[in-house]
Every structure is written in structure tokens, then in C-alpha cells.
Structure 1
Amino acid sequence: MTIIRQGSLFDIQELYDLEPTQRFEAIFSTIDIDPIFAVVTKKSRFGRPVELNYVAMIYSLVARISERIPFIKDLVKRLRNDMIFRLDCGFLVSDIVPSEAAYSRIVTILSESEVLEGAKNTILNQAITEGFINDDTAALNASHFEAKDQAPPKEEKTTSEPKKRGRKSKEEREKWLVEQAEREVNLPLYEKKIEEQLDVSLSELRSQMPQDPQWGVKKNSEGKSVFWYGYKAHLLVGTKSQYILQSLFSSGNLNDGKAAIPLLKGIQENVSLKTLRYTTMDAGYDYEPIYEQVHRLGLQSVIAYNKRNEPEPIGFDKHFAPTCFREHSYRYDSYDAKYETLKYTRPKECKDCPLADQGICQKVYKVKITTDLRKYTAPARGSKTWKTIFKRRTAVERVNAYLKEYFQLNNVRYRTGKRAKVHFDLVTLVYNASKLAADRMNAMLNQRQAA
């Protein structure tokens, strides 16, 4: 058996160096197959007799992701030509090889169910129970991937009546305000403002998530806009363990910030991770409702600040630390969790300042983070601890790269959003299953070495 070592490609590379039979057995053993089998199997004893091995079909879909088999037709071909692979997936010698249509029917059934979400949460909580996940920080980010189909041609805008220029009369303005209010009420949930999500249940947030392929845009490293037609993967990742703690699939045009609250609520309802203390995100998630949701979970936000043409604060520096009379920044000292208060101490430059003895500049400055959750975070913005935690955010970017490079996230072969979500769920499921399999092998190896 290949020795599994710490510190490499999250130990999954060594897992993939094993013989296929050992690798499949290790990955399959982490997945609770019974709920998935109950969904896809035939429910009635009437009608056409069951001739397919559904358990083996589910395992073969997992093996397709693991083996990087691009098409279902290639999976069927390999099952027909490779007897060892067929047996590794759980098929018997007497079983018939399923057709592409049979796999298509299973994908359709899975697209109408949330069973894969349950399977992912089962693996995650099993990893927590076995002690492989003890992160104190979770990082959130989104990654785009293209749809299979070519983007449809853009619809030509119909010419409307020219708008009336000038100020509206009082009656016209009142009518316009009523129409605007009605339009806002009738908008879909994800077209409303982010704060509308705070009091909505997780099940409703997930059910209303847009999933059809759409045009998306982002800035590349050179600051230029890059367009694509497809989807987005939203991930909340443990920065130390690099497990996917929660995941969401959406249309490519969804604003990244509108996926944050569903992911955070998913942590609250589906993951019993008591060690979690911080969530870190880039400036694309700098919205007050996201800070509010993190605060409701009893966690702390470490999110890059997006200035948005706001005026310079008076009496505070760019990190919102108070400044003295001579505009030296106070130093962050500590955080009192009981009273949710940040403590700042007098700047070093004020040690010999003549104003210090006159009572003009106070020695200690305290501020409650609830004064403004966006500006006052624990640890304080600009502090060494804040910067250290924020650097951990790169973990989610690495996981996004792993999913695309090794787990076929870029290889969506379904035309509809629902069926594409099945592919996304399988990708994230196999990733966490492979991670758990590698961690179990590490633990077994360490036990043998200790003995």
C-alpha cells in the first residue's frame, strides 16, 4: 500500500496512486448508499421486472468522477470492456451493463430529490465525529464554470415609447412609487436585496435558487471583464481541513453575495462544528446583512472592506481604529466576547505627547462591535490577527482549483440546470468522500506506526 503522507495535495494524490480496487473501496466505504438507492430504485413490484443493479450504477457514477471519465457513453463503454472495473463498481458477472438511457433516468430522478445533499452532510458530520474536521475558520468564495450548450442569441430590445423628460408631477410620482413598491414585492427572492434573506428558511432559500445557465461576468487578474455562459459553484470550506462544509449551485449571473446567507444557514442547520469561530471572505461579500447573519451564528466576520465611494471617517483611520488629537491611530489590544467590545490603547507616538497629561487624549478606547458590524470586527480590522485569518481565505480558492482540475467540475454534460446540479453535487460529494478516505488511511497508518 502506498504510504499516505501529510502536507501534499491534501493527501488525495496518494489515494489516487493506489490500485483502482483499493481506491474505489476506500471512497465507496465513506458514502451511505442506502438513502440514494431508496430514491432511484423501483418502488412497485408491478410492471417491468427490475434488471439493473442500481447500487452498482450509483457507485459507477461516483467512479466516473474519480476516474475522470468525461462522458456517460465512455462510462458504459468501459463497463462493457473492463471486467475488473465493472466488478470494482459492484456489478456481478451476470448483471447487464446499463445503457446511457438508464443512467439518464437515474440522473433525472436524482435531480428531483435532495438526497445527494443529505449524503454530503452525512459524510461531513462523519468526518467531524472522527475528528478530521476541527477548523476554527471557514472561507467562502465562488467559482464559475461553463454550460455545455452554446449561449442563445441575445434578444433584441423592443422600442418603447419615449420617456417623458422633466420632473414628475405629485400625482405621477405617487403613482410611480406605488408601482415600484409593488414590483419590489413581486420580485423573485434572489432579485431582491440581500437583507430579505435573513428571515427566510434554508429550505426556501435553496428551493428558490436560480439554476438555469446564464451569462456571468467577473474581473480577471488584469482588471478586465471576462464573460461566460453557465453556472457558479459557491463553496464554504474549512481552511485547515479543506473539507467543503457547505456548497451551492446557481446560475452564472447570481451575485456572489446573495449565496453567502444560504451557505451560512446551512452551517447552522447541517453541521455541528463547535470549533468554528471565524468566517473569511473577499470584498465581494462586504454587505451588512452578511455580517448580521454571521453575528447571529455567534461567529466573527473577517471580510475585506469595500469602500463604495464612502466619505473618509472623521476621528478614525482607514481601519476604523480611533485616532488621537494628532491623528495617530490607537492600537488594537483585545476583544471582550462577553460584552462584544473592542479595546484600543493609546498610540506609541503619544507616550511623550504633552497633550496626554492634559486629558485631551484618553488612554483606552472601547467600542461595541454591534455599533456597526461592518466596520467593527473581532479581531479589529488592520490588526495582525485579522490579517492572519484573512490570508486563510486562499484555502477555498485551492479547493475550487482542485474541483476543476481533478474532479471534473468544468465537465458539465447536461443541458438543464437541474441535471447540471446533479453533476455538481456528485463532484462535491466525491471530493469530500475522497478526503475522508485519505484521512482514514492516514489515521490507520499512524496507529500502525505507533503500535
Structure 2
Amino acid sequence: MYSIQQQELFSFQQLLEIKPDDRYAPILEHLDFKSVLQRLRKQSRLGPPQTLNFPAMLYSLLIAKIERMDFVKDIVRRLKTSIEFRMQCRFTGSDTTPSEASYSRLIRVLNDHQLIEMVQDGLVLDAISEGFIPGLHLAFDSSAVEAWNAVFSDGAVKRKTSRQNQKPLTPQIEQLSVPIEEDVKEETAPPPTPQKYGRGRPKKEEAIRRAEERKAYEATLSTFEKPVADMLPYTYEELMEELPRAPERCAKKNAKGFLTSWYGYKANVIVDADSQYVLTGFLSSANINDQRGGVVLLKALANKFPMLQIKHIMADKGYDAHPLYKLIHSLDAFPIIDFIHHTEPPEGFNKDFHPICEQGKAYVYDSYDPTYKTLKFTRPKECSNCPLAESGCQKVYKIKVDQDIRKNTVPARGSEGFKQLYKKRTAVERVFAYLKEYFGLHRTRHRGTRAEVDFQLSTLAYTVCKFALDKWNQQLKQVATAA
């Protein structure tokens, strides 16, 4: 008999090369989901067994952000059709593919317990311990996030239908015991504004009545409707509990002075200006004032990362408010915020609040004395040959910073040091560009609690990618040094 030996189609080395490459392994290995899994784990031995692979579901949500997948249905479809994608998300062959309802319930639990925020904070603490975040210069800002909505011809926005008319969910997908609540609360009627009165001084009884009317109106205002100074006594947890999260219409001027309008949300973040790490952030309604968002960011910074030795915090002129300067000084840091001139500078000072000599020459900023908290200004070089140099003009001016913390900054406004520090503020704008271009933050397809988780997933995906890249560069430097 003839023995025919068939030649092998692939060699062993070729089979290894055909194996799909797990390119997300160097990124996902830096995530610690222990605290998240403790919340998601089944609390009782009774009932049906837990069949969902929650770590793999979390990985799939992050990978979807990196691969710019906007909808949960795209994740489910990809899991059903791509074995390589299932392996990258850490699904095993025996795991069932989660449904869209299972992802929806997972997202609700993540938002109720702020689990993604906990993972983000832990990752930032790891970056601080590794030395990737200096924490000396920080910058914060806000950016528009459009909401995905259906607008009819009459301009009305399609609202979510009531769950009373929906069919009950099957027991197989109720893996998470979470109460069902509406994402968007019923809108309450705003309190009536006080009546506007004409000019003239009212009588005593009328003045008392108007004061009581004004006091009753202010008592009906929420925390984010009160003046910015009234928000300072609140803690970070209290502010986040009162934070409006529903999509709203907002209109504001951009950097070029043009009026822009959008419907949706506002992303508020504070980043390290030197390393471009996102320290913390939150998603709010679009109509929230930037200064109120800045108060929440600074409160979060003091609450989460008190170990940072911050020197300067930068922001644009939209945050030029006395309460924000006060909060920044409470962190033992100096504010670098562009000034809004509502009135002319005081007599004897220029627009940067430098002293001016009798000839109109501005004194030059010299240094800052931390012992007495004073700014030192010296006479300009042009005044060396001035006839009033010895009699009319003094050589040195010293100004207390506490006289006006808005006008007197360290370094002084208009100085070269102030300009160089203010240029670092653009780091937060670059971070927003990365989040919108590569991590899907330019528009959210969710509403209510799901929109907040969508923002947190974008920031977490950005942070873990940056952390993985810094760790890789650190290892390459160590290998080059050892060689």
C-alpha cells in the first residue's frame, strides 16, 4: 500500500503569528476594579446564579471609548461577531453575550455608587506616587458637550417615555438588583422673581416689605442659583448632590467673541498643566455658570488630593470672581486668572495695577516676599535720568497681596512670569481636544445618569492610556540607563 504524507498547511511559528494580538493588555493591566466588583458581586446566595462577566463588561465599555463606538448596541453586535474583540474584552468562551438591558443596568449601578470616579481617583493617585503628576501648576476650564436628541418641526425636544407603558423586563436580564428610577426628574416651576420697582427711596414700611419679599425669594433658590459666594460653606459632597445634570440650552461667547449655542451639558475638568493628566471633573447642565463649576472643581481637588503641593492655578477670565480667588488661596496656591476690567484702574496705577511715577512710567515687578506677603516693584530704567528721580519718585513700592487678592497676584499681573504661567493654561484646552477627538466626548448619546457615566468613561480611558504610555517610557529609560 502507498503511504501518502500530506504537507502541513501552516507551521507552528505561523500559527503563533496568526493568533490575534491583545493590544489592550498593556493598558488594561493598570486598572484596579476590586472596589467596583465588590459592589457588583451578588450579595446573597439565594436567587438565580450570576452569569454576567462584569469585569469583561467594564473592559468592553472602555475599549469602546478608545475605538470610538458610540452606542451600546454596537458593543453587543461586535461581541457577537468578533472573537478577537471578545478576547480583548476578557470574555471567555463560556460567557454569554450581555444584552443592551444588562449594560443599561450596569451603567446605572456605576453612576449610583460613583464607581468609575473611584477608579479614576485611584489611577491619579498611582500617577502621583510614580511621579508622573508634579501637581505644581494646575488649570481648569469647561467645554460644551452636545446631547443627542430628536427635535421636531415645532422645536420641541423628544422626552423619554414613561416606564409605565413599557413591557416588564424578563427575569434573565435582572442580574443587578437596582431600583428603576426616571433619569430625568419632573421639572418644578421656578419661583416667582421679585417685582422690579422704580427709582426713589421707599418709605420705611415699604422697604421692610421689599426686604422680606427678597428674603423669601432667596430662600426658594437652589444651591446653584444662589450667588457664587454663598456656595463656599458647602462641602464637595453637598454640592455634587445638588448639581443639576439634566440637558439644557446654553449660549455663550467663544474665544473669538462669537456667540455659540448648544443643547446638552458642560464638561468641567481640572488638569495638571505640566503632564496634562485629568485630576478630576464632572458633567453638569449646560446652563451652569463657569464660576459655580470652578467652585466644585476646587472643592473636589481639596477633598481628593490634599497631598499636592500646588503653586499656581490657571483659568481664563470667565472665572474672574473673588470667591474663586479665595478658594485658591485656601489651597496655599496663587491664582493666575485673566482680569476683567469693569472700571478704570485706580489713580496712580496702570491696567496691570503697577504703580506709575509722575512721568507716567510704570514700576517693574521685582519679587514677592512670602514673610510679609508683599509684592515688590522697582523704578523702571527709563527713570534713571529723570530730574524727579531723587525728589519726586520713590525707588521701591511694596503692596500687600491681601489688600485685593483679585488685583494683586503672584507673580504680578503684566510681568513676564505671569505671562509664562498663563500660557500653561492651554493644557486644559488640549486635553479637551484629545477627549473630544479620540474618546468620544464631543457628543453624548445618553441622558441623565447615563450621560455622567459616559463622561467618566471618556476621562478614565484617556487617563489610563496616558498612564500606560508613561509607564512604557519609564521602562524604556530604565533599560537605556542600565545598558
Change (3 A) 1:292 1:163: closer
CA contact (8 A) 1:315 1:324 kept: yes
1:27-106 superposed matches below 5 A: 27-106=27-106
User: Is the aligned partner of 1:279 residue 2:279?
Assistant: no
| More displaced 10-residue stretch of structure 1: 197-206 or 299-308 | 197-206
Per-residue deviation, 1:437: 0.6
User: Among residues 206, 216, 227, which one is paired with 1:193 in the alignment?
Assistant: 227
1:240-251 superposed matches below 5 A: 240-251=274-285
CA contact (8 A) 1:140 1:260 kept: yes
CA distance in structure 1 between the aligned counterparts of 2:196 and 2:303, rounded to whole angstroms = 49
User: Is the aligned partner of 1:239 residue 2:273?
Assistant: yes
The residue aligned with 2:469 is 438
* SS of 1:440 mapped into structure 2: helix
Structure 1: segments with no counterpart, 5+ residues: 1-18
TM-score normalised by structure 1 residue count: 0.90
| More displaced 10-residue stretch of structure 1: 217-226 or 65-74 | 217-226
CA contact (8 A) 1:70 1:411 kept: no
Per-residue deviation, 1:274: 3.5
The residue aligned with 1:121 is 121
| More displaced 10-residue stretch of structure 1: 218-227 or 51-60 | 218-227
Per-residue deviation, 1:262: 1.7
Q: Deviations over 1:170-215 (max 9, x none)?
A: 4333212211122223311111111112221111122211111011
User: Is the aligned partner of 1:447 residue 2:478?
Assistant: yes
Q: Which runs of 4+ in 1 moved over 6 A?
A: 162-166
CA contact (8 A) 1:134 1:273 kept: no
The residue aligned with 2:4 is none
Q: Deviations over 1:50-84 (max 9, x none)?
A: 11111111111111111111211110011111112
User: Is the aligned partner of 1:349 residue 2:352?
Assistant: no
The residue aligned with 2:244 is 210
Change (3 A) 1:84 1:164: closer
Change (3 A) 1:137 1:317: same
The residue aligned with 2:352 is 319
Per-residue deviation, 1:349: 2.2
CA distance in structure 2 between the aligned counterparts of 1:142 and 1:107, rounded to whole angstroms = 24
CA distance in structure 1 between the aligned counterparts of 2:28 and 2:116, rounded to whole angstroms = 14
Per-residue deviation, 1:224: 2.5
CA contact (8 A) 2:270 2:279 kept: yes
| Letter paired with 1:404 | K
| Letter paired with 2:98 | P
The residue aligned with 2:429 is 397
Change (3 A) 1:364 1:222: closer
| Letter paired with 2:219 | V
| Letter paired with 1:414 | H
Higher Cα radius of gyration: 2
* SS of 2:390 mapped into structure 1: helix
| More displaced 10-residue stretch of structure 1: 28-37 or 368-377 | 28-37
Q: Deviations over 1:418-446 (max 9, x none)?
A: 22001011111111111101101111112
Q: Deviations over 1:5-51 (max 9, x none)?
A: xxxxxxxxxxxxxx985442122122111111222333222222211
CA contact (8 A) 2:135 2:309 kept: yes
User: Is the aligned partner of 1:424 residue 2:458?
Assistant: no
| Letter paired with 1:297 | L
1:288-303 superposed matches below 5 A: 288-303=322-337
Per-residue deviation, 1:341: 1.0
Q: Deviations over 1:265-293 (max 9, x none)?
A: 22222125534211111100000110000
Per-residue deviation, 1:327: 2.1
The residue aligned with 1:372 is 404
The residue aligned with 1:8 is none
User: Is the aligned partner of 1:410 residue 2:410?
Assistant: no
| Letter paired with 2:295 | I
CA distance in structure 1 between the aligned counterparts of 2:46 and 2:119, rounded to whole angstroms = 29
Q: Deviations over 1:365-393 (max 9, x none)?
A: 11111110000000000000000000111
Per-residue deviation, 1:120: 0.9
Structure 2: segments with no counterpart, 5+ residues: 1-18, 158-186
CA distance in structure 1 between the aligned counterparts of 2:382 and 2:404, rounded to whole angstroms = 28
Q: Deviations over 1:294-314 (max 9, x none)?
A: 001000111000112x13310
Change (3 A) 1:20 1:311: farther
Q: Deviations over 1:143-192 (max 9, x none)?
A: 0011122467399x9x99x9886755543332122111222233111111
TM-score normalised by structure 2 residue count: 0.84
* SS of 1:328 mapped into structure 2: coil
Change (3 A) 1:393 1:58: same
CA contact (8 A) 2:121 2:304 kept: yes
User: Among residues 414, 419, 444, which one is paired with 1:382 in the alignment?
Assistant: 414
User: Among residues 248, 251, 260, which one is paired with 2:294 in the alignment?
Assistant: 260
| Letter paired with 2:360 | E
Q: Deviations over 1:340-377 (max 9, x none)?
A: 1110111222212222222x321111111111000000
Aligned residues: 429
| Letter paired with 1:102 | S
User: Is the aligned partner of 1:362 residue 2:429?
Assistant: no
* SS of 1:356 mapped into structure 2: coil
| Letter paired with 2:339 | Y
Change (3 A) 1:202 1:221: closer
1:125-144 superposed matches below 5 A: 125-144=125-144
| Letter paired with 1:321 | H
Change (3 A) 1:221 1:112: same
| Letter paired with 1:153 | A
CA contact (8 A) 1:344 1:366 kept: yes
| More displaced 10-residue stretch of structure 1: 172-181 or 75-84 | 172-181
CA distance in structure 1 between the aligned counterparts of 2:352 and 2:197, rounded to whole angstroms = 45
1:320-335 superposed matches below 5 A: 320-335=353-368
CA contact (8 A) 2:313 2:335 kept: yes
Identity, % of aligned positions: 41
Per-residue deviation, 1:332: 0.2
CA distance in structure 1 between the aligned counterparts of 2:251 and 2:150, rounded to whole angstroms = 16
